């Protein structure tokens, strides 16, 4: 079921994949060679059930390899420090990474997608210079401070407060409040923060967007233990945290509209990698299922229906990427919302199906494989973790309301 690809060639082991970017076929082969010589063959076994600290060290190591090969931010425009690779090149990168079951740089998702999607469109030249370079040159980790205990999918209800003050001659915002569900917040250097700056305005109109130093006095970070036993998320407490006024993104009280650039990346661009990994996982399931559950006609019919849905979402992702190519600021569209909804439902159904057909042995607890995404063949952990996609970036229920009201123009019920 996989796409036909060229056979491996004898490309020099010392060459960088980007040295061959003018020829897409040669680029694919060079990338495949780079992955083979860079990714440890036993990395999955070595990082099965590892501690949070071991996970973070491995993630930083993997990001350093991507940075050294100039692959980490290759999707960024050239004028902002990237390689400006085409849609076709990006497809090749994710196909080859998925096919090789290479690690996912999940701790750097905010750094590589959410941050640039925000700063490209709304940041100042100084902000882009400092913080985009910080990712590329120093490997800085970013987290996102949007959701709150009482403001998740209804994000506009957030209560974290930012007051502008002059302290010791410095123009700052003093922030108080609490954020939750910040992915890898315990490892972050910087924070994309939404806070209320006008208590008298309607909900969306009184919100501003900030860059916050996670090491600033008054910031307390606590990991959240999940049902899988991992702590991917953190809650963040803010007690009189001072943010320099120059770290305001855009204009005061216009943070809500700016946040849509960030959320567009979450709902669309980062799904590209996830969908490619799912496509390869489907191929593995075919090989592993021959002679066992695939002999059952009902199971085969159910799996085939899931496969068709995966192919449909894969096509939607490519349509979305073509839209992004036409938008130099990486803006989102309604396609990203459709992809988010479809992929979340499919991922859940796929993992539930594989858990069911894998038999009783799959029900036993096994250590999770970190950095491997949602398709690790650890059926129970994959199934439990798949539910995060129906919540992140706005719950599916809220997203369906968005489609109904904003895209289809239906009246509010």
Tokens of 167: 């302290």
For residue 155, name the pLDDT band (cuts at 50, 70, 90). Answer: confident
pLDDT at 5: 35
Take residue 126 and report the two structure tokens written for it.
């100084």
Q: How far apart are CA 67 and CA 83, in angstroms?
A: 12
pLDDT category of residue 139 using cuts at 50, 70 and 90 = very high
Q: Which of 235, 266, 273, 285 is catalytic?
A: 266
Residue with the larger pLDDT of the pair 101 and 268 = 101
The pLDDT value recorded for residue 368 is: 80
Please, which pLDDT band fits residue 157 given cuts at 50, 70 and 90? confident
> Residue 81 has what DSSP assignment?
T
Specify the pLDDT at position 266: 59
The per-residue pLDDT for 6 is 38
264 pLDDT band, cuts 50/70/90, is low
Question: 175 pLDDT band (50/70/90 cuts)?
Answer: very high
What would the mean pLDDT of 200-220 be, rounded to a whole number? 94
Predicted confidence at residue 326, as pLDDT, reads 73
Domains of the chain: 17-102 (no CATH), 142-254 (2.40.110.10), 270-407 (1.20.140)
* Structural tokens at position 364: 């036993």
Whether the Cβ atoms of residue 234 and residue 222 lie closer than 8 Å to each other? yes
Taking 80 as the threshold, does the pLDDT of residue 7 lie above it?
Answer: no
Q: What is the mean pLDDT of residues 185-209?
A: 94
- The whole-number average pLDDT for the span 19-23 is 94
Q: Is the pLDDT of residue 388 over 90?
A: no
Most confident residue range from 1-5, 97-101, 337-341: 97-101
Confidence at residue 3, expressed as pLDDT on a 0 to 100 scale: 40
Q: Is 266 a catalytic residue?
A: yes
Predicted local confidence at residue 1, as pLDDT: 38
Rounded Cα distance, 320 and 333, in Å: 8
* Mean pLDDT within 348-370: 89
Q: What is the mean pLDDT of residues 139-158?
A: 89
What is the pLDDT, as a whole number, of residue 327? Answer: 64
pLDDT for the residue numbered 14? 46
Check residue 297 and give its pLDDT: 95
pLDDT score for 8: 38
Q: Assess whether pLDDT exceeds 80 at residue 232.
A: yes
* Range ranked top by mean pLDDT from 10-19, 212-221, 315-324, 358-367: 212-221
Residue 151 pairs in a beta bridge with 148
Whether the predicted pLDDT of 69 surpasses 90: yes
Over residues 192-221, mean pLDDT: 95
Q: What is the mean pLDDT of the chain?
A: 88
For residue 28, count CB atoms less than 10 angstroms from its CB and return exposed for 0-12, middle for 13-18, buried for 19 or more. Answer: buried
Q: What does the pLDDT average to over 205-221?
A: 97
Mean pLDDT score, 21-30? 96
Q: Which helix (H) or strand (E) holds 84?
A: none
Rounding to the nearest 10 degrees, give the CA dihedral for residues 123, 127, 128, 133.
Answer: -150
Share of the chain above pLDDT 90, in %: 59
| Percent of the chain at pLDDT exceeding 70 | 92
The residues, any chain, with a CB within 8 Å of residue 342's CB and separated by 6 or more, are 309, 312, 313, 316
Answer with the residue of higher pLDDT: 238 or 41. Answer: 238
Q: Once rounded to an integer, what is the mean pLDDT over residues 72-90?
A: 89
More confident residue, 14 or 380: 380
pLDDT value for 229: 81
**pLDDT (0 to 100) of residue 62:** 96
Q: What is the pLDDT of residue 267?
A: 55
What is the pLDDT averaged over residues 106-132? 94
All residues at 6 or more sequence positions from 50 whose CB lies less than 8 Å from its CB, including other chains:
58, 370
d(CA 380, CA 366): 8
């Amino acid at each position: 079921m996989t796409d036909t690809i060229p056979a491996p060639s004898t490309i020099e082991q010392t060459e960088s994949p980007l040295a061959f970017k003018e020829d897409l076929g040669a680029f694919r082969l060079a990338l495949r060679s780079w992955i083979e010589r860079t990714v440890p063959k036993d990395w999955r076994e070595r990082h099965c059930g590892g501690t949070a600290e071991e996970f973070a060290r491995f993630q930083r190591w993997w990001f350093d390899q991507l940075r050294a090969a100039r692959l980490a931010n290759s999707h960024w425009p050239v004028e902002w420090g990237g390689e400006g690779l085409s849609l076709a090149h990006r497809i090749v990168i994710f196909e080859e990474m998925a096919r090789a079951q290479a690690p996912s740089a999940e701790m750097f998702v905010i750094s590589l997608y959410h941050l640039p999607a925000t700063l490209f469109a709304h940041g100042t030249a100084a902000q882009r210079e400092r913080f985009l370079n910080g990712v590329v040159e120093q490997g800085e980790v970013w987290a996102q401070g949007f959701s709150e205990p009482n403001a998740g999918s209804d994000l506009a209800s957030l209560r974290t407060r930012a007051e502008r003050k002059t302290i010791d001659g410095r123009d700052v915002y003093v922030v108080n409040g609490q954020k939750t569900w910040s992915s890898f917040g315990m490892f972050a250097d910087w924070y994309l923060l939404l806070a209320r700056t006008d208590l008298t305005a309607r909900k969306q109109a009184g919100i501003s967007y900030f860059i916050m130093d996670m090491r600033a006095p008054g910031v307390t970070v606590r990991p959240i233990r999940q049902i899988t036993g991992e702590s991917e998320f953190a809650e963040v407490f803010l007690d009189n945290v001072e943010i320099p006024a120059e770290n305001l993104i855009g204009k005061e009280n216009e943070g809500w509209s700016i946040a849509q650039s960030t959320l567009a990346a979450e709902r669309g661009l980062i799904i590209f990698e996830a969908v490619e990994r799912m496509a390869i996982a489907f191929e593995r399931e075919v090989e592993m299922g021959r002679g066992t559950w695939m002999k059952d006609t009902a199971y085969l019919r159910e799996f085939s229906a899931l496969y068709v849905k995966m192919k449909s979402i894969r096509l939607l992702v490519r349509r979305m990427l073509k839209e992004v190519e036409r938008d130099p600021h990486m803006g989102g569209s309604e396609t990203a919302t459709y992809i988010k909804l479809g992929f979340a439902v499919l991922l859940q159904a796929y993992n539930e199906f594989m858990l069911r057909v894998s038999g009783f042995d799959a029900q036993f607890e096994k250590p999770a494989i970190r950095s491997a995404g949602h398709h690790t063949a650890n059926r129970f952990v994959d199934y439990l973790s798949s539910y995060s996609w129906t919540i992140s970036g706005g719950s599916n229920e809220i997203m369906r309301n968005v489609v109904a009201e904003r895209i289809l123009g239906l009246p509010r019920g």
